[in-house]
Amino acid sequence: VRHLYICDFHKNFIQSVRNKRKRKTSDDGGDSPEHEMDVPEVDLFQLQVNTLRRYKRHYKLQTRPGLNKAQLAETVSRHFRNIPVNEKETLAYFIYMVKNNKSRLDQKSEGSKQLE
C-alpha cells in the first residue's frame, strides 16, 4: 500500500530512529553492551502546556517561573527519563490488572466504599 502522506507522529518516529542509529554508529560502532537495550524515546513536546504543568506540579519539579512550552517539555522529559522503573514488577502488575479487568481507579473507589 502506498501512502500519499505520512502523519506527524510516524514522521517524528522515523526521524528519531534514524537519529538514534546515527548516534550509535558514530559513538563507538554500537558494539558496547549499553547500546543493546533500545529505550524508546517519549516526545513530551506533543503534550499540552497544561499537562506539562500538572506533571511539574505533581512531581514538585523546581523551575523558574514563566517557562515556555519547549523549556517546560525539556525539564519534564529530563525528569521522566530519570525515573527508576522496575520493569518486571510493572509488567506483572499491568498483566494482573488487565486479567482481572481492573484499573487503579477501581482500587480507589473500592477503598472509599469500604470506609462507608
pLDDT in tens, 44-86: 889 999 999 999 999 999 988 888 999 999 999 989 888 888 8
SS3 28: helix
- The reported pTM is 0.49
Q: What mean pLDDT, rounded, does the chain reach? A: 75
Res 114 pLDDT > 90: no
Q: Which of 62, 87, 66 shows the shortest CA–CA distance to 75?
A: 62
Q: At what angle do helices 69-81 and 49-58 cross, to 10 degrees?
A: 40
pLDDT of residue 45: 87
Q: Could you give the count of Cα atoms lying within 13 Å of 114 in the half-sphere of its Cβ?
A: 6
Q: Residue 111 has what DSSP assignment?
A: H
Angle at the Cα of 77 from the Cα atoms of 6 and 90, rounded to 5 degrees? 95
Higher-pLDDT residue of 108 and 116 is 108
Q: Where are the alpha helices (DSSP H) in 60-102?
A: 69-81, 87-99
CA distance linking residue 49 with residue 83, whole number of Å: 21
pLDDT of residue 34: 46
* Average pLDDT rounded to a whole number, residues 26-36: 47
Higher-pLDDT residue of 67 and 108 is 67
